[in-house]
A and B are shown apart, each in its own frame.
Chain A
Amino acid sequence: MIMLEKRAQPSRVWTLAAPIFAVLLTMICGGLLFAALGKDPFETIRTIFFDPLFSEFAWFYRPQLLIKGAPLVLIAIGLSFGFRAGIWNIGAEGQYIVGAICGAAVGLAFYPTESIFVFPLMIVAGVLGGTLWALIPGILKVKFDTNEILVSLMLVYVAEQLLASMALGALRNPDGMGFPGSRNLAKYDSATSWISENVGMHWGVVVALIAVIFAYVTLSRHLFGFNVRLAGQSPRAARFAGVNPSTLVLICMGISGGLAGAAGLFEVAGPAGQISIDFNVGYGFTAIIVAFLGRLHPIGILLAAGLMALTYIGGEIAQSNLGLPGAAIQLMQGMLLFFLLMVDVLTNYRVRFGKGAIA
């Protein structure tokens, strides 16, 4: 009989080893999945995990890592505060979209004026848009005790409709010959977020790294970070320590919404370029996996985002070179989270093999 015995202190070894173990398990199960689909498992795993970094075309793929990784880092850092406090913002995708819309709207309003104030204003608009979109579930939770998971998730669909309406209506490019989609902001010098397209560097990457540093300092050295951790572990002790639960909900939702909105803005003003119906590609949801894979820790999130970006790019290569269905990649990304949660049990519990009646 297998028994789980709670450890007195969480195991340090497993805290670090669990993600690695989870990745290995994912590679094995992913390999089996690919074999079942008729592809050579070793070649597929190599294509997904190693080719983007080391193959002959890696000079093309490596910038893609920065591009795909930055929004994941930014959103996941924002989410990690809420998740640590037990506040579940699942609608980061919607906040990302609304941030992009608001930021793009400001940029397009200034077109074709060139000024150094345009881009900063766009950033402010993006952050505000995302923050306000996230405060809707936040305020509803504080005032009416609604479930923020449901409200934030449903608002994602609202945001997607808003996006479509903007792309076809208010923000449509007047010089676009009737095609849907806004003007291309990446080509508008004052509005673009690109720093160097060749290397894949845009302002989003810079802000993501700054966010990692801020988050690390806050969580380890600041009272707010302490309160966030406390509220997640022992809500009653948090109230005893003077933490106001309502304020905490609003701040955490605000932070995650703001960062998601910023990520949306940097994306629409750079790699995506324009507001279009299919602007959002699921970063808001993948960031949830990244947050947990990184153990809600800023450095962990940085590494986990790198890993996820790798699987995105490697997945695309596998799709085009090996004919692997896109859904199989998404399945593998989901497996990663699943295995991580499973292996995580070992951090807090010891497995014992025993027999007979329990003591």
Chain B
Amino acid sequence: MNQPLLALSGLTKAYPGVVANKDVSFEIAPGEVHALLGENGAGKSTLVKTIYGLVKPDSGTMTLNGAPYAPAEPRAARASGVAMVFQHFSLFDAMNVAENIALGMENPPPQREIAERVRAVSDQYGLPLDPSRIVGELSAGERQRVEIIRCLLQDPKLLIMDEPTSVLTPQEVDILFKTLRKLSAEGTAILYISHKLEEIRALCENATVLRLGQVVGTCDPRETSARDMAELMVGSALLVPERAARPTGETVLSLQGLSAKAPHRFGTALHDITIEVQKGEVLGIGGVAGNGQDELVAALSGEMRTIKGMVNYQGQSISHLGPNARRKLGLLTAPEERMGHAAAPDMSLTENAVLTATTRQKLANKGFVNWRKARSFAEDVISTFDVRTPGPQNTARSLSGGNLQKFVIGREIMQTPDVLVVNQPTWGVDASAAASIRQALLDLAAKGTAVICISQDLDELMEISDRFAALNEGRLSAPRPAQGLTVEEIGLMLGGAHDMEVAHVDV
């Protein structure tokens, strides 16, 4: 077919202080699987929000099947046959699948009918789902199925998927891809947003690359190497972290049977986690979000106290110690949520330095804060880690995600810890900042610090870890040396497909 399904021409959208999209034009053919590539801040989200009707462009036009297309709101987009699965799901944990789907509909038919249609569609596309299950009990992969089925019930011509595999294990990714290929074969086009280059090469036929709001290139991912696509995205040669020293073998932190109740109804309980971490090693802990990462970090940082003997530092039990006592010993952590947990958003960077560095950097004397010393420490962190900000008096909120993350991690690294625990260190961070953070972690390990890196990004973990373990439903798998681990093995360690009904696709 010659006429494209969706054609964008000269789309431009500016917000105060930043041009999110500048003169973006490309086309998607019917049934095509089209990738949208770019770093964080490249303008991908704004672009798809424009297509879905959440954002009105300042200039430029769109056509759908040749006719002008300018949805005023998502409802209009859905009516035209455009559906979207967001990265962050809009589901109510306390209700079941059918009820959640009904909530998203204009005039929902009776529950039984919805349940029937859900069963039919899910079977047809190889995403089996029981409509009566409570969403709160579903894994992330299953929740994503609910979102996809919600879209499929509208019979879309274009399905937009925003970073769909960030919450899936490798096995679940395979299942998703089979579904997407089936949809594509039936004529539904797919606009696939991701920064995971290997996946895009496996799935997509065409790719548009955005950088700083503009289209910098198109390519066929099947014929382009991941490295070339990455360089198109970043615009400069990528810095690949180098690995250095090997671990010494001396255990510095050991967890023995660490167990804890779930902190609240939708939290995760920890079950019998046992592992020893050595000086100078990087232990990578992989796992999809929601499997106990936050709880594990809380048990390590001291925000959650545990039973004596569960958390041991250099042979002594520290389970009863609070965060500052642990900092004094040399155990530092950088939590996942940088705004509101690792840093106070409305406080200056100097005050945020006092937040964690007071104990080790002696920023207070008999309780009185030495603000000059704190400011100078903050300035050190800013210059050493290339944090882009006018100065330490600026609030944490005024920094971009990547820069704040550099500050938060840099603040901990500059306190020369003996053990550093980081949770999702490069989530939402642009590629160059991510590379420098990873290199900083490796440099720290080379100096003898034990680094525990908890991350959803398997590529990252494979890059920097010496040993790898998987966190699944509060349980930690036995650690394996990272070198030589295949994606298949990792996927199994992560729990495989979580005993989900294995999909069958009627092709």
Contact = CB atoms under 8 A, between A and B. Distances in A.
B397 interface: yes
B323 A236 contact: no
Contacts of A223: 354, 358, 364, 367-369
Contacts of A241: 323-324, 355-356
Contacts of A187: none
A9 B395 contact: yes
Contacts of A229: 347
Interface string A1-34: 0000000111000000000000000000000000
A357 B341 contact: no
Contacts of B384: none
A9 to B, nearest CB: 6
A226 B335 CA distance: 21
A237 B322 contact: no
A143 interface: no
A8 B347 contact: no
B368 A233 contact: no
A222 B365 CA distance: 9
Nearest to B365: A223
Contacts of B302: 242
B344 interface: yes
B367 A222 contact: yes
Given A224-B367, A357-B56, A242 B343 contact: no
A222 B343 CA distance: 19
A12 B394 CA distance: 13
Interface in B300-314: 301-303
A55 interface: no
Nearest to B374: A226
Nearest to B327: A242
B134 interface: no
Interface string A211-252: 000000000011110100110011011011110100000000
A139 B337 CA distance: 31
A233 B371 CA distance: 20
B351 A240 contact: no
Contacts of B369: 221-223, 226
A327 interface: no
A240 B367 contact: no
Given A236-B337, A237-B355, A357 B72 contact: yes
Nearest to A221: B368
B398 A233 contact: no
Contacts of A244: 322
B322 A242 contact: yes
Contacts of A8: 395, 397-398
Interface in B27-72: 55-56, 72
A359 interface: yes
Given A226-B354, A234-B340, A240 B303 contact: yes
A8 B396 CA distance: 10
Given A8-B398, A226-B369, A239 B347 contact: no
B342 interface: yes
Contacts of B78: none
A221 B371 CA distance: 8
B395 A237 contact: no
A237 B342 CA distance: 6
Contacts of B56: 356-357, 359
Nearest to A224: B367
B301 A240 contact: yes
Contacts of B371: 221
Contact of A240 (B15, B72, B347, B356): B356
B13 interface: yes
Contacts of B15: 359
B345 interface: yes
A244 B321 CA distance: 12
Interface in B275-330: 301-303, 322-324, 327
- The 6 A-B pairs at the shortest CB distance, nearest first, are namely A242-B324, A234-B344, A242-B323, A237-B344, A236-B341, A241-B355
Interface of B: 13, 15, 55-56, 72, 301-303, 322-324, 327, 335, 337, 340-347, 351, 354-356, 358, 364, 367-369, 371, 394-395, 397-398
Interface of A: 8-10, 221-224, 226, 229-230, 233-234, 236-237, 239-242, 244, 356-357, 359
